[in-house]
Each structure stands twice: as C-alpha cells, then as structure tokens.
Amino acid sequence: MAAPIDLHEVAEREREEQFRTPLRVHVCHSTSCATAGSGAVLQAARDLAEGDLASSVAVSPTGCMGLCSAGPLLRVVERGGGQHDYHHVTGAAAERIVRHHADRGAAVPEHRLDTALPFFARQHRVVLANAGEIDPDRIESYVAHGGYAALERALTSMTPEDVLDQVRRSRLRGRGGAGYPTANKWALLAAAPGPVKYVVANGDEGDPGAYMDRTIMEDDPHRVLEGIALAAYATGARHAYIYVRAEYPRAVERLDRAIKVARRNRLLGRRILDTDVDLDIEIRIGAGAFVCGEETALLASIEGRRGTPRLRPPYPTERGLFGAPTMINNVETLANIAPIVANGGDWFASIGTPGSTGTKVFALAGDLVNTGLIEVPMGTTLRDIVEDIGGGMTEGHTFKAAQTGGPSGGCIPARYLDTPVDYDSLRALGSIMGSGGLIVMDDRTRMPDVARFFMEFSKDESCGACAPCRAGTVQMHHLLTTISSGRGRRRDLRDLEHLCAVVRDTSLCGLGQTAPNPVLSTLQYFRDEYEALIAPAEGGHG
C-alpha cells in the first residue's frame, strides 16, 4: 500500500509553482466556454507559455468563471495579486492580451471585463469558490486551495458525531429542491443498523435549464468526493455511489479520474490517510430519464432497473439501495460539506437567512443581458439577481416573470421581485427553490405557452407507473394546447384546474405531485392571459 498523500507538502509545492512566473493565465474551459471556443484560446496561451514567454507566463485551464454568455473567458493573474478578466476571447486575442501583459505589464482595453460589475461583486462563492481558480484535472490544484484539509481533520481529530454536529449547526438544507434538513437525513443513516449502508450523490440534474451540478462535478470533482467522504464518515457508510446523467460525459470523465487519483493518494479506498476508515466510490451513469432525480427512482436505476419511483415508506434510510439503508444527497449539498467542516457550521449559518442558510448556485438564463452561473447568499432578492447581477432585460424589453424550480416550480411576476430567494418565500409564492434553474422571461413571453412547455416535459418524463400522472399530464397538455391555440372553452379551463388538483394530490411521486405547479402559478398570476384566449363565443374576454 502506497503512503498517503502529504497534503501540506503538496500544497506548499503547488503554491511555490504558482509564484514561479510573474503571470498566470487562467482560461475558462468549462463546457459553455469550450463550446464557445476556449480550446483555441487555451492553445494560443500555451504556445506562448511553452515558447518565448516560458519564463514569465504559466497557463492553466480552469472551471466556470460564471459569465457564460460572454465566453470564452480569460483571466490574467499577476504575482502581486492583480487580476484582469477578458470576455469573448479568441485565440488571436489571447495571444495579443497575454503578450501585452508580459511585455508592458499592463491590461488591454479590448475584451476587458470589469470585475467591479455587480455580476461579480454581488456574488458570494462558497460552492464555486474554486471554479475559475483551479485546474479540475489536478488534485494538487485542489489541495493548494485547502482541498482535503477538512477530511484530514475530520478523520484525525473529529468523531463522526462531531462532523454530524457541524452539519447540524450549519442548518444546511438539501439543494436538490425540496430543502429537507441535511443533518436530519444524515442522522437517520447514522442511526441505521450496519454494517452495509450507502451514501449516494445525486448528480442527475434533470431540470431543463439548470447546469449547476454539472459545473460542480466538472470543475471541482474532488470537492464532491471530499463531501461524500465526510458524509460517509459521519454516517458509517463504506460504499458510495455517484449517479450522473449520461448527458454529462465530461463530468463522468472528470469524476472517474478524480476517484482514481484520490484512491492512489489514499484519500479513498482502504485505510484512508492511514486511519481505520474505508470508503469506495463508484460512478453510475443514467440513460436519460428526468424521473431518476426522484430518490427511489434513482436507486432503482442504480440497481439496473426501470427508473420508476416506488411507494414510501419504507424510506431509503430504512431500506434503500440493494435493500440496505441509504442516504441520497444532491451534489451541490455535498459540495457545501467540506467548507462547513473546515470553517464550522456556525460560519455557514451566518450566511443567508435563518431559515435558509448558506448560498445557492443558480443557472441564470433567459432574456437577460448577463446569463451564466451565479452563486448568491440565500435571501438575496429576485430584483438584485435580475437587475444587478443579470444586468436587467435585453434592450427594449421589460421583465415579465422569473421561473424557478423548472417543471416542478412556478412563475413569479414583477410585483414579487423584492421577494428574498429562500425555500419558504418561494414556496409561499407557489413556486419552489428547485435545484437552481432560474429563467427570466420578458414581455414577449406568453405564459400559457410556458405552462404548456413544462406540461409537455412532464408528460414525456412521467414514468407511467401511476394513473393520474401518466394519463393526467396527457389531458392537461391537451387542454393547454387547446387553450393556447385560442380554441379553448370556459369548460376547458375549469377541467384544467380540476385536473391540476387531482394530479397534485393523488400522484405517487414528486414528479406527478408537482407537475401542475407551472399551470397553477401562471393561472394565479397571469390568469387574464388564459381568459383572453378563451373563445369569445364562450364568454371569454377576447
């Protein structure tokens, strides 16, 4: 058995390496920027660093810097700490920018991104602290930023109960959407009789319009592994699974590599860091089914079966994967664990609001000036997110609604823009926090169409195991299509509302129970749009 990694030494060496050159160039190489052409940018920068600027420039690919709509993004970091960001960078521009910095020690005005912009200044990065800073493929990079220090501390100087206690004090709630207190889940698994129990990381991000979890898995894979290891230590599990959507091959590749490296460095596997603690993590890949985000469906899928949810109780913490007690945590939830253990639960609880502590990552998209991945303290108002961080609506248009929670959530109108974004406030408005998709729509959007879009999604993603969801979503979609096309009658609207109640109250799992939400919330706030579509002969307003 190889000797375990010496975290201090690796961190020391990596920091020295970082100060070797006066300039360091970070190229955002996340999926979004890669699509926009960051490969050429990275190559151009590397050519310089391996050519005549070898002594003055070091280049590193990094994870998501956030402002995806302006990618590819490039960051020049000076030895003295100065930092300059650039947007819409091409290979040629990268060469010009890096050369200019190296030769003149000054920034280039073209492509310059002002980091004092509210988009950057209003954010608070805990989960994404390393994104844009570290090279996701290098464990040294993670370790130099404090990685695995929390795990080392937990294994050497904390009992499992101590770790659980910090999570309890943090009042962290599940980031998958429902907001169940994380410590309660952990305590249930910890109390479950051993010896076989499982921790499962849910990376089946299915909300169409959300990519927070993908970014975390791709850009900081070791953080996810460290979170899982801490969860396993606190609950006494020795086996863990990460369930990743098949649509995220890059996340699978990065996690796979990270697991192998962590195992070789004795951060996973037998006798982690020479303690008595063992943990193995296995990746399981989905095959395209939104419903697999539901806990019991996800477990069925890991077992190689159809991803149909089953009746609860028994809950997974009583009888889960392969019949053993199992705890399922969302990837973003787990990404919060290492910082909580490192800085203490009280530190975490001081961020956000008393009921919703910490930060939340959102995939901000839609008709805004700035779109991308943002992380804000819980309780930040929607207005701050839309107007400051998002930079307001695109030219000539006004805000109409913000959609949170995807197919399980709702649309929030302008009059509630000052609502703080937290679990309970969003629920009170008929929406949900969801996993973090936040789509902002302008005055061109027709809300019955939005409701129809989400119902089509739920109809296609229903597993079919229970009658109201399987057949009810088909009928609701049919009614919404009829109404959207202007052929609807008053009776159709009445039938639609009734079906919403039936499907919400009688469906077997969360997918069906929440599928009516987009309809209910648009009916609540934009009813006049539905009324206007009712055929005039039937007594509508039109």
Site for other proteins in 186-245 (CB under 8 A): 205-211, 214-215
CB of 216 to other proteins, least distance (A): 12
Question: Could you say which of 8, 79, 260, 270 contacts other proteins (CB under 8 A)?
Answer: 260
CB of 460 to other proteins, least distance (A): 6
DSSP per-residue string spanning 287-337: -S-GGGGSHHHHHHHHTTS-------SSPTTTS-GGGS-EEEEEHHHHHTH
Among 203, 377, 410, 468, binds other proteins (CB under 8 A): 468
| Interface segment toward other proteins; rule CB under 8 A; list 150-158, 192-200, 298-306, 379-387 | 298-306
- Beta carbons within 10 angstroms of residue 117's beta carbon: 15
Look at the block and give the residue holding tokens 């959300």.
210
If one asks whether residue 289 binds other proteins (CB under 8 A), the answer comes out as yes
Q: What pairs with residue 359 in β-bridges?
A: 377
347-360 per-residue burial string, b: 16 or more CB within 10 A, e: under 16: bbbebbbeebbbbb
For other proteins, what does the binding mask look like between residues 131 and 160, x meaning CB under 8 A? ----x-xxxx--------------------
Q: Does 464 bind other proteins (CB under 8 A)?
A: yes
Task: Classify strands 57-62 and 23-28 as parallel, antiparallel or unpaired.
Answer: parallel
Q: Which stretch binds other proteins (CB under 8 A): 148-156, 186-194, 458-466, 529-537?
A: 458-466
Using rule CB under 8 A, residue 68 touches other proteins: yes
Piece of 163-171, 379-387, 413-421, 433-441 that binds other proteins (CB under 8 A): 433-441
Smaller CB separation from other proteins, 93 or 365:
365
Total residues at the site for other proteins (CB under 8 A)?
A: 96
Which residues, at least 6 apart from 344, have a Cβ–Cβ distance to it below 8 Å?
Answer: 166, 169
> Nearer Cβ to other proteins, position 95 or 442?
442
Q: Quick one: which segment of 21-29, 90-98, 364-372, 533-541 binds other proteins (CB under 8 A)?
A: 364-372
CA dist 253 and 285 (Å) reads: 11
Among 82, 288, 536, 539, binds other proteins (CB under 8 A): 288
Q: In 426-523, at which residue ranges do the beta strands (DSSP E only) sit? A: 437-442
Using CB under 8 A as the binding rule, whether residue 169 contacts other proteins is answered as: no
User: Which listed range, 111-119, 150-158, 168-176, 461-469, lies at the site for other proteins (CB under 8 A)?
Assistant: 461-469
Cis peptide before 72 (omega within 30 of 0): yes
Distance CA 242, CA 205 (A): 12
Distances (CA, A) of 347 to 169, 170, 173, 179: 9, 7, 15, 20
How far apart CA 35 and CA 46 sit, in angstroms, is 19
Q: Which one, 43 or 350, has the nearer CB to other proteins?
A: 43
20 interacts with other proteins by CB under 8 A: no
Query: Of the two residues 237 and 374, which places its CB atom closer to other proteins in the complex?
Result: 374
